[in-house]
Amino acid sequence: MSSRIRSLLHKKLLQKTGLADLPIFQHLSLKLDKTTGSFSYEIPLRTPSYDLRSQSDLLSSLIIEDDLFSRINLTRRKNNELLSIALKRDSFVKQILEKNSHQVTPPDITDDNKKIVIDFSSPNIAKPFHVGHLRSTIIGNYISNLNTYLKKNVIKLNYLGDWGTQLGFVMLGVDLLAIPEDKMREDPIKKLYEAYVHANKLSENDPEVLERAREIFQRLEKGEGLQRWESFKNITVEELQKIYQRIGVTFDEYHWESSYNFSRIKGVIDRMETLELLKVDEQGRRVVAISDQRNLPIIKSDGSTLYVTRDVAAAIDRMRKYNFDSMYYVVESGQHDHFNNLVNILERMGYESSRKLHHVKFGRISGMSTRRGTAVFLKDFLDEARDAMREQQKINARTKVDLNSEDGSSDILGISAVVVHDLKQRRTKDYKFSWDVALDIKGETGVKLQYTHCRLSGIEENSGATLPSECNPQLLTEPIINDLVSAISQFDEAVVLSYQTLESCYLAKYLFNLSHTVNKTIQEIRVKGESSDIAAQRLLLYHSTRNVLNTGMKLLGLKPLNKM
């Protein structure tokens, strides 16, 4: 809402003054005076470049033209001035409820159509999909949703780690354990991991095993025996896709780290050589001097590549292919040096686009375990969340869940709990996972958001009222309705703030507040049993609230439920 007002005022002021650098519209916060029930927008003015008095006069004259604004006030606070624009209460309520009754439209952001590549999730084959990957998946999916909502052109990449010395252990482990093909297909992620752990453990006491694993990897590096590895990769991806589908995440493209290992790397190394960026260190590795004290290996002494080398090649490939405006790497904070190095190298290779690369880092989660023990596998973790929700639903006699349904609401609720527990955190902070907190229907949780959404859907379904074509604010005068309208109107702000900071917690907090306010309103303001005019207007109030909640929940990556 306020972005509409912002641009309206801005346009009108521009027309009258011709001043292009209007400094006033950075922050526009809505104030609700509870005693008078009046709304106003407050705008702190930074030292403006022209006469404030005349600006105020000017705005006053504009106000007559618009049905929404009623009065304007300018007060001085220390060095700042505060402009407050009083709104006509009824017009405001009408605008907010009508605007959100059909479809929630995104706020205008001037940089529409920007092309944004988002590299997220990106687990490693034959290593467990650990909590770092879970956070990357949840946060990356959120950032993708948000950018898509704000009309950016988003390309979602999953960069699968399928290369590295661990590979030799995996292949050897599969042979030593003689894992049959059908068992492998049943649960490839676990089976390949078991193979890895088995061989790795043996190698600790048996240098011969270590040697054999190395040999296998060296052969793979020469391109021998790749076919078998390919088949392991394919079945792992199938399994991963099932998990992504379960949590509602999709990708535009899957890329393989190994594809930057062979042919594509050569041009990159040649360019580094031409620019004289590479030198050989005492261990025979080819390195780039990152700083006076630090050399970063690019090619090992046996000629093989490193993680960073493959990322350099991948970034160059993506620059050509997508010509993006920004590329986000959603990866845990621990890899910050890696991404700094990556940007540093690309810069020195002369790629201006290196400025467009951003590491979207995040903190660690601790305490993530299942009743069966430490959660290594995401699937077990999600199963645990689902089972816990199912138990809660069984206890709660009021719920009408179909307990026989395999992928019923329990699974969606469990996933919502996990996702929101993550997205309500500040991204870069470490946090401790707690089942009690995550699953609490009364707390600030995904379960609470789902519960509220179900409640609103229930009102729409059972009220017997019909949605009116227009809002009549005169029938919506109870003070608590002002609170709810105020909460609805602040959705755009929360979205924009979250977009600017890449912090999902602003949107999560907003949705908790909206849920809290509407649940309070529902207790006081009933639809059923009221005269048809009043019932219709109240239905409109709840319908608009549900639309906003629904839009916000989908941005977080949740599947809003109508019944639980």
Which residues are catalytically annotated? 127, 130, 133
Which listed range, 31-39, 116-124, 234-242, 423-431, lies at the site for ligand ARG (CB under 6 A)?
Answer: 116-124
* CB-nearer residue toward ligand ARG: 161 or 414: 161
Interface with ligand ARG, residue 203, by CB under 6 A: no
Distance in angstroms (rounded) separating the CA atoms of residues 126 and 123: 9
Name the minimum Å distance from CB 382 to ligand ARG.
19
* CB-nearer residue toward ligand ARG: 72 or 331: 331
Interface with ligand ARG, residue 122, by CB under 6 A: yes
Which listed range, 120-128, 214-222, 444-452, 461-469, lies at the site for ligand ARG (CB under 6 A)?
Answer: 120-128
Closest CA to 9 of 65, 49, 77, 47: 65
* CB-nearer residue toward ligand ARG: 100 or 122: 122
Residue among 69, 159, 324, 381 that touches ligand ARG (CB under 6 A): 159
Q: Which residues ranging from 124 to 153 are in contact with ligand ARG (CB under 6 A)?
A: 124
Interface with ligand ARG, residue 324, by CB under 6 A: no
Residue among 161, 164, 414, 446 that touches ligand ARG (CB under 6 A): 161
**Binding-residue total with ligand ARG (CB under 6 A):** 9
* CB-nearer residue toward ligand ARG: 257 or 503: 257
Give me the 74-113 binding string for ligand ARG, x by CB under 6 A, dash otherwise: ----------------------------------------
Q: Which residues ranging from 331 to 370 are in contact with ligand ARG (CB under 6 A)?
A: 331
* Amino acid, single-letter form, for residue 270: D
Closest CA to 460 of 522, 527, 554: 527
Interface with ligand ARG, residue 162, by CB under 6 A: no
* CB-nearer residue toward ligand ARG: 360 or 459: 360
* CB-nearer residue toward ligand ARG: 25 or 244: 244
Phi, psi for 434 (deg, rounded to 5): -140, 125
Tokens of 172: 């050897």
CB 339 within 8 A of CB 357: yes
CB 285 within 8 A of CB 306: no
* CB-nearer residue toward ligand ARG: 123 or 557: 123
Name the minimum Å distance from CB 309 to ligand ARG.
11
Interface with ligand ARG, residue 329, by CB under 6 A: yes
**Orientation angle between helical segments 89-102 and 479-489, nearest 10 degrees:** 50
* Amino acid, single-letter form, for residue 550: N
Which listed range, 63-71, 119-127, 418-426, 497-505, lies at the site for ligand ARG (CB under 6 A)?
Answer: 119-127
CB 501 within 8 A of CB 509: no
Name the minimum Å distance from CB 454 to ligand ARG.
37
Name the minimum Å distance from CB 123 to ligand ARG.
6
Give me the 438-457 binding string for ligand ARG, x by CB under 6 A, dash otherwise: --------------------
Distance in angstroms (rounded) separating the CA atoms of residues 291 and 287: 12
Other Cβ atoms closer than 10 A to 488: 24
Positive or negative: CA dihedral 435, 441, 446, 447? positive
Distance in angstroms (rounded) separating the CA atoms of residues 356 and 183: 44
Name the minimum Å distance from CB 147 to ligand ARG.
18
- Please state, in angstroms and as integers, the Cα–Cα distance from residue 42 to each residue in 66, 67, 282, 340, following that order: 17, 18, 64, 40
Other Cβ atoms closer than 10 A to 75: 10
Name the minimum Å distance from CB 145 to ligand ARG.
19
Distance in angstroms (rounded) separating the CA atoms of residues 449 and 457: 12
What are the residues whose beta carbons fall under 8 Å from the beta carbon of 123, sequence distance 6 or more?
129, 130, 133, 160, 161, 240
* CB-nearer residue toward ligand ARG: 337 or 391: 337
Which listed range, 121-129, 230-238, 422-430, 468-476, lies at the site for ligand ARG (CB under 6 A)?
Answer: 121-129
- Please state, in angstroms and as integers, the Cα–Cα distance from residue 252 to each residue in 114, 117, 141, following that order: 17, 10, 12
What are the residues whose beta carbons fall under 8 Å from the beta carbon of 382, sequence distance 6 or more?
243, 246, 247, 411, 414, 415, 418
* CB-nearer residue toward ligand ARG: 313 or 511: 313
Which listed range, 92-100, 115-123, 171-179, 198-206, lies at the site for ligand ARG (CB under 6 A)?
Answer: 115-123
- Eight-class DSSP state of 510: H
Dihedral, CA atoms, 434, 438, 440, 442, nearest 10 degrees? 120
Distance in angstroms (rounded) separating the CA atoms of residues 66 and 57: 15
* Amino acid, single-letter form, for residue 199: A
Name the minimum Å distance from CB 159 to ligand ARG.
4
* CB-nearer residue toward ligand ARG: 341 or 445: 341
* Residue with the shortest CB distance to ligand ARG: 161
Residue among 311, 411, 444, 483 that touches ligand ARG (CB under 6 A): 311
Name the minimum Å distance from CB 133 to ligand ARG.
6
Closest CA to 268 of 311, 301, 218, 323: 311
Name the minimum Å distance from CB 397 to ligand ARG.
44
Q: Tokens 């650098």 map to which residue?
A: 21
Distance in angstroms (rounded) separating the CA atoms of residues 424 and 429: 11
Name the minimum Å distance from CB 339 to ligand ARG.
8
What string of DSSP letters covers 263-299? HHHHHHHHHHHHTT-EEE-TTS-EEEE-SSS-EEEEE
Contact positions vs ligand ARG (CB under 6 A): 119, 122-124, 159, 161, 311, 329, 331
